[in-house]
Every structure is written in C-alpha cells, then in structure tokens.
Amino acid sequence: MSNEQLRNDMLQSMRRLASSVSVVTAIDDGEKYAMAATSVTSLSMNPPSLLVCVNKTTGMHQALDNGGDFAINVLSNDQQEVSAACGGKLTGEERFTVGNWTETSAGLPYLKDAQSVVVLEQDGRYEYGSHTIFIGKVKEIKNSEKVNPLLYVDGRYTTAAEAAEA
C-alpha cells in the first residue's frame, strides 16, 4: 500500500473517532494564542497530567515550543462558534473576540464557561513527524457542574445526546 493510500485511509479512520473539542491557550512574549484541538488526552493521574498534539506549522506550536504554561478548555455543546474561531476562522488575538474569556493571575487566557479548564505547567515534549506532543502537569482545574461536551466526529460537531440517538 502506498504512503498516499495509507494517509487517505488514516484520514477516513480518524473521521470515525469521536472526540471532545477543546481550545488550547497559551501566552508567549505577551501575545495570546488559541487553537481548537481534538488531540487532547489524559496521560497520568500520578502526577495528574494531560498531553496535546500540535502541528509544527501553527502559531500555537511556536508559543509552546518556548516552554510556557498552557490551558486546555474543554468546550460545552453551545460553544461551536468558539471552536470555529480558534480553528482557523479567525487568526491571532482575534480569536479571543468570540467567547467569554478571562485570564489567570499569570495572564493565561481561559474560557469562563467551558466544561472544564485545566491549567498546566509544561513538563515535557516529544517530536513525532509533523507534530509535537506537549505534556502538561496539572496546576489547577475549574469544572462546570453540568456535563455536556461538544463532540466532533465525521467532520461535524455533535453532542453526546445526539451521538447516542444516532
């Protein structure tokens, strides 16, 4: 099988993998960065940590490459516009014009009304192909009371309730 065929088959395979939608945020040299991501996962409970995979061509990669802290904002089902803004619809700090943003005491932006906000201290990295896996050790967590995450599957947004009905 050719590399091109494997790539195409991989893309089709990943369309079948439902994922929660998150927005990763960081600051670097006073500039704020935000990027929509579905490649976020827990890594360990001891120490509590998460990882995120970031394409090396993105501005977010540049910000994280400098070793700074970052936040994972797990979106709720009514935050599709935030995901779209941070997924390419807007650029740079324009991304922070959509959504209910605030900042930690260190200036790290996060969404006040996200399903969950996990503030992380960067604690490792692993380069692989076109991406870098950034590891973050949990510093702080803010969870909402209601659990209703925004999901992404087969190239579209959905909710847990809609996915269960399908």
Whether the CA torsion 82, 134, 38, 12 is positive or negative: it is positive
Domains annotated for the chain, with CATH where assigned, are 19-145 (2.30.110.10)
Predicted structure pTM score? 0.91
Strand partners, 36: 23
The string of pLDDT tens digits covering residues 118-165 is 999 999 999 999 999 999 999 999 999 988 899 998 888 887 667 666
